[in-house]
Amino acid sequence: MDGLLSVCHGYEAKQRIVRNLIDKVMDEINEGTLLKKNLIWLELTGCSGNIISLLNGANPDFKYLMTKMANLVYSNSLMTAEGEDAVSHLVNVMNTDFILAVEGAVATKNNGLYNVIGKWRGEPLTALKAVKMLGEKAQHVMAIGACATHGGVSAAHPNPAKCVSVQSVLKRKVIKLPGCPCHPDWFMGTLAEILLYDAPKLDAKDRPVLFYSTLIHDRCPRRSFFDKGIFAKKLGDHTCMFKLGCRGPVTRTDCPVRQWNKYVNWPVEDDTPCIGCAQFGFPDLMEPFISYDTTRKERE
């Protein structure tokens, strides 16, 4: 497998594409033809998994991205400012050119009071109000991860906070980067595309085609087992996990070639079925994540 991948130009290009884009951004910033932009990273109802994933970025790493490419104005997980001082950064950026990245779903119950992200002039600032206020002014809005793109885990049944996607509360184009979490390369590459070309090419569901164009199933290293009808009967078997409920055939990302944790591995290679975390409707529509006692008949 490794030998095959090492001679595949498409695979090699995939590894370098984000780095190439970001190098181009850097060249243009150094030449003065491109200006750094302000970036707001807004965390709403979620688990902070996307900012943690971003911090794990490797090519380039987070520090490089945020110091050389963009001015990170606000991230409640990373900034040192607290209280109204922190919120003032959000307010002050409103009159500048900025890109808004949102992770987490928007809690709408009780007019958004189920998620208060700070205080401004003594009043609670709800996530709902913040995302509307910033979303209307931003040059680009990026929804990062499952919860922001379609509600995700935060909107799973019974959805006590009545969480919805970022798109549901904004009447404008929202670039969607689904995944639980979003891969750091998907975010960094899309940000670089925005800086360079203003509008990245998106598919019908507003996902960048650079990262979301191909089914996991079509690039799965275990695809030949599926084609021959050789299926895993339990976790740990090294064959196709279709009969256990793998959602690779309905999920579009480049996990099989990009891989995770600094390009080390991905679920299927570690004998875990894809749970469709980058598919709209995850998790409810992708369940059950694992099934035994299903059809065992081999392909005729």
* Interface contacts to another protein, rule CB under 8 A: 13, 16-17, 20-21, 24, 201, 209-210, 213, 217, 226, 229, 242-247, 249-250, 273, 281, 284-288, 291, 293-297, 299
CA atoms within 13 A on the CB side of 249: 11
Check residue 67 and report its DSSP letter. I
Residue 156 or 174: the one with the smaller Cβ distance to another protein is 156
Beta carbon nearer to another protein, 27 or 97 = 27
User: What does the alpha-carbon distance between residue 142 and residue 282 come to, in Å, rounded to a whole number?
Assistant: 19
Nearer to another protein, 184 or 208 (CB): 208
User: Smallest distance from the beta carbon of 230 to another protein, in angstroms?
Assistant: 12
Report, in Å, the least distance between residue 287 CB and another protein.
7
Any idea how long the chain is? 300
CA 12 to chain centre: 22
**In the complex with another protein, which residue's Cβ is closer, 51 or 244?**
244
For the bound state, the minimum distance from the C-beta of residue 245 to another protein, rounded and expressed in Å, comes to 4
Shortest CB 62 distance to another protein, Å: 23
List, in order, residues 6 or more apart from 243 with CB less than 8 Å away. Answer: 231, 232, 233, 291, 294, 295, 296
Q: Partners of 41 in the beta sheet?
A: 75, 101
Cβ proximity to another protein: between 125 and 210 the closer is 210
**Nearest distance from C-beta of residue 257 to another protein, angstroms:** 13
For residue 248, CA distances in Å to 186, 217, 242 come to 18, 5, 8
**Which residue's structure tokens are 């994933």?**
53
